[in-house]
């Protein structure tokens, strides 16, 4: 049984997978490249993704200086690691404040239904870049991993069964979780911003979709039999989890 919700905490920060480019002093050229259109099936994957690391809880607004539509906490609930959000665009208001339109975690605090994106003030964020991108193809039941715009690995996967499907869309890795030998889905799970459209709660959690291993679950790779999560062979999720981390974009198509 897939585990759409994983809960083990660990104290380590997300792995060193980004090319750090400073804070708001990132060059305009780099920002332009990092804010490329998100990948879709069959299209070229952008070489890099600019992300915002929150240093404080953020009010999310419908527009720069607009009404508040959500709150995003600075720390993730499973690992306690920093919240890292992909940046979709940026602008400055008349006062010179920089605003970032970011992709949001699923079922964000204080909203129903949750917005997919919103604007946050950049003052309490740090900007970084990830070169990784994960593409899940539901038709072929594969996971392709891109680094700097190039396909570097393709793995056979188990995806959601028809009654509990894996939802297509643009998402990102919220947390990178180490699971113990007794927990289902180990040895690693990438908890994503995707949420099940069928399971509003699962195993005490919010129906969060993860990319994880087969530990204590099993299943035949290349099939559709999970509760919505994406399962990989243990050696493959280990390879992936050692390279990607919070903020990594995910395309499910």
For residue 157, which of 216, 209, 224 has the smallest C-alpha distance?
A: 224
Same domain? For 116 and 150 the reply is no
pTM: 0.81
| 83 falls within a domain | yes
**End-to-end alpha-carbon separation of the chain, Å?**
22
Same domain? For 179 and 208 the reply is yes
pLDDT in tens, 84-107: 999 999 999 999 999 999 999 876
Domain boundaries, position 230:
132-252
Same domain? For 124 and 87 the reply is yes
CATH number at residue 227: 2.40.440.10
Residue 157 Cα distances to 126, 168, 204, 224, 237, angstroms: 34, 15, 25, 9, 10
Which of 88, 106, 130 lies at the terminal end of a domain, its last residue?
Answer: 130
Which of 80, 114, 130 lies at the terminal end of a domain, its last residue?
Answer: 130
Same domain? For 106 and 71 the reply is yes
Q: Tell me how far apart the alpha carbons of residues 191 and 168 are, in angstroms, rounded to a whole number.
A: 16
Q: What's the number of domains the chain is made of?
A: 2
Residue 212 Cα distances to 32, 161, 218, angstroms: 32, 16, 11
For tokens 């079922």, the residue is 107
Q: Tell me how far apart the alpha carbons of residues 133 and 34 are, in angstroms, rounded to a whole number.
A: 12
pLDDT in tens, 138-156: 999 999 999 999 999 999 9
For tokens 């339109």, the residue is 101
Same domain? For 113 and 164 the reply is no
Which of 82, 105, 130 lies at the terminal end of a domain, its last residue?
Answer: 130
């Amino acid at each position: 049984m897939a585990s759409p919700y994983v809960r083990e905490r660990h104290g380590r920060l997300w792995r060193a997978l980004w090319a750090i480019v400073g804070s708001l002093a990132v060059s305009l050229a780099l920002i332009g490249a990092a804010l490329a259109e998100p990948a879709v099936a069959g299209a070229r994957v952008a070489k890099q993704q600019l992300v915002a690391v929150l240093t404080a809880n953020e009010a999310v607004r419908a527009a720069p200086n607009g009404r508040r539509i959500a709150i995003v906490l600075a720390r993730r609930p499973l690992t306690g690691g920093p919240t890292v959000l992909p940046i979709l665009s940026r602008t400055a208001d008349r006062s010179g404040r920089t605003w970032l339109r970011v992709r949001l975690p699923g079922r964000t605090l204080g909203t129903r239904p949750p917005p997919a994106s919103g604007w946050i003030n950049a003052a309490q964020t740090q900007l970084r870049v990830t070169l990784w991108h994960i593409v899940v193809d539901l038709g072929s039941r594969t996971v392709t991993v891109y680094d700097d715009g190039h396909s570097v690995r393709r793995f056979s996967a188990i995806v959601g069964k028809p009654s509990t499907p894996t939802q297509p869309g643009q998402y990102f890795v919220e947390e990178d979780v180490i699971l113990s030998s007794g927990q289902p889905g180990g040895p690693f799970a990438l908890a994503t911003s995707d949420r099940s459209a069928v399971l509003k709660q699962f195993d005490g959690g919010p129906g969060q979709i993860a990319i994880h291993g087969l530990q204590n679950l099993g299943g035949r790779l290349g099939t559709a039999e999970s509760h919505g999560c994406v399962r990989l062979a243990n050696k493959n999720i280990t390879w992936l989890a050692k390279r990607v981390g919070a903020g990594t974009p995910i395309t499910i198509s």
